[in-house]
Structures are given as structure tokens and as C-alpha cells.
């Protein structure tokens, strides 16, 4: 069997399994559970554009944490150089947050 035949067989198997485990129409008639309250808007409704800015700021702080965890492991062996580099990195992130604050990205009104 050629590689194309194997790939075609795998795709056909995946489609078959997907059709077997698909949720029937009876389960989609029920309301989704949202803390016991009925939904007030559609699940695929659009978000306000301000949320994208908040998301970018969150990602900046998330990246800060990703870089700080390995830094804590090597700071003892690297010494003062690692501390200076981390404070420089934090200063760059702080400059980004101050810029977002100045531009009104954190203002909700």
C-alpha cells in the first residue's frame, strides 16, 4: 500500500469515528449551563474591541512569567548580570504598560 493509500485510510477512519461520536440533535436542544442562568447572548457573539487590548496586555504579563521561571533557576549561578537583565526586561514591559495606560487602553469609559 502506498503512502497516499495509508493517508486516505487514516482520513477515512477519522471521519468515520467523528460521525460515530457526534452528538445527536436531542442534546443540542438543551440550554447550555452557565452558572444556572439562561444565556443572554449568542455563544459566538462579537467582543468589544477593548478586550483585544486587554488580551495583549495580559499576554505581555504572561510572557513575563514564562521568562521569569527559568530565570529563578539560573539567577544564583549567573549573579548580578542576571538580575540586571531581568530588571531591564521588566523596565521594557513597564514602558509598554505605561504606554498603553497613556493611550487609554485601560480606560473603560
Dihedral, CA of residue 50, residue 56, residue 61 and residue 64, to nearest 10:
-170
Confirm if 32 and 39 have CB atoms less than 8 A apart: yes
Q: Looking at the predicted structure, is the pLDDT value of residue 33 above 90? A: no
What is the distance between the alpha carbons of residues 27 and 16, in angstroms, rounded to a whole number?
20
What is the distance between the alpha carbons of residues 71 and 15, in angstroms, rounded to a whole number?
45
Q: Looking at the predicted structure, is the pLDDT value of residue 93 above 60? A: yes
In the predicted model, what is the mean pLDDT of residues 57-62? 81
Confidence of residue 103 (pLDDT cuts 50, 70, 90): confident
What is the distance between the alpha carbons of residues 109 and 79, in angstroms, rounded to a whole number?
45
Q: Looking at the predicted structure, is the pLDDT value of residue 98 above 80? A: yes
**What's residue 6's pLDDT?**
93
Q: Looking at the predicted structure, is the pLDDT value of residue 11 above 90? A: yes
| Chain centroid, CA 12 distance in Å | 31
Confirm if 88 and 95 have CB atoms less than 8 A apart: no
* pTM value surpassing 0.75: no
**What's residue 38's pLDDT?**
67
Amino acid at each position: 500500500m502506498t503512502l497516499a493509500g495509508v493517508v486516505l485510510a487514516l482520513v477515512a477512519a477519522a471521519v468515520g469515528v467523528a460521525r460515530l461520536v457526534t452528538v445527536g440533535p436531542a442534546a443540542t436542544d438543551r440550554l447550555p449551563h452557565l452558572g444556572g442562568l439562561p444565556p443572554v447572548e449568542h455563544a459566538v457573539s462579537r467582543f468589544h474591541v477593548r478586550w483585544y487590548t486587554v488580551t495583549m496586555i495580559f499576554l505581555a504579563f504572561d510572557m513575563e512569567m514564562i521568562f521569569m521561571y527559568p530565570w529563578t533557576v539560573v539567577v544564583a549561578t549567573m549573579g548580578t548580570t542576571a538580575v540586571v537583565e531581568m530588571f531591564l526586561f521588566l523596565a521594557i514591559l513597564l514602558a509598554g504598560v505605561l504606554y498603553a495606560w497613556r493611550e487609554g487602553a485601560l480606560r473603560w469609559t
